[in-house]
Each structure stands twice: as C-alpha cells, then as structure tokens.
C-alpha cells in the first residue's frame, strides 16, 4: 500500500537510529543561530521541543535525497526542504539547495 504524499512533497524518508550523534555542518549551525534556535554557546533551544526530545533527535539520522548522504535529523529539521515528520518518516520537498 503506497500512501499519497502531500502536495509539493517529493520524498518520504525513513528516520534511523544511530549510536553516536552525526556532526552538524557549519551551515546548519549558522541557520539555527540566525533563526534563534541555538544560542551563542551552541546549545539548542527549539521552542515547543523539550530538552529530552532534542537529545533523542540528536541520535537520529536520515539518508538525505537532496544532499545524497546521511545527515543528522536536526540538520534535516532546519533544512528548507523539511515539510513534516510523521510516524518515523520525514516528508521532504526535494528542491535543490
């Protein structure tokens, strides 16, 4: 059974668990700081997301169809292609970065 993707979404990407957090790129960190989701010391403070959930998100990864490599979920979360997360899967718009 194939589920219909929402309009504007090209990919449905599975979220995987990892042993160690995947290092976030400097570009993703800059994006987080500019949007106010990370303080100057590098601590994540996402409104509406508990510190316990952020810790769990750091141990998740996705195979990014746009970058063609495995990235940490938090990097995926701040990407402009991120649409939604549902039942262990991410909806990705798939636009070039």
DSSP string, 2-68: PPPPPTT--EEEEEEE-SSPPPPPHHHHHHHHHTTSB-TTS-B--TT--HHHHHHHHTEEEEETTTT
Q: Provide the domain limits for residue 17.
A: 11-92
Count of domains for the chain: 1
In this structure, is residue 97 part of a structural domain? no
Position of tokens 């998100």? Answer: 57
In this structure, is residue 57 part of a structural domain? yes
In this structure, is residue 29 part of a structural domain? yes
In this structure, is residue 31 part of a structural domain? yes
In this structure, is residue 20 part of a structural domain? yes
In this structure, is residue 2 part of a structural domain? no
**What is the pTM (predicted TM-score) of this model?**
0.83
In this structure, is residue 74 part of a structural domain? yes
In this structure, is residue 6 part of a structural domain? no
pLDDT tens figures, 40-84: 888 888 888 888 998 999 999 999 999 999 999 988 988 889 999
pLDDT tens figures, 72-95: 998 898 888 999 999 999 999 999
């Amino acid at each position: 059974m194939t589920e219909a993707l929402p309009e504007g979404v090209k990919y449905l990407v599975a979220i995987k668990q990892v042993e160690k957090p995947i290092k976030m790129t400097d570009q993703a960190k800059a994006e987080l700081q500019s949007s106010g989701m990370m303080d100057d010391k590098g601590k994540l403070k996402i409104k509406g997301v508990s510190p316990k959930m952020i810790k769990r998100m750091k141990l998740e990864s996705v195979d990014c169809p746009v970058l063609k490599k495995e990235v940490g979920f938090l990097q995926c979360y701040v990407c402009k292609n991120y649409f939604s997360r549902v039942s262990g899967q991410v909806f990705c718009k798939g636009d070039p970065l």
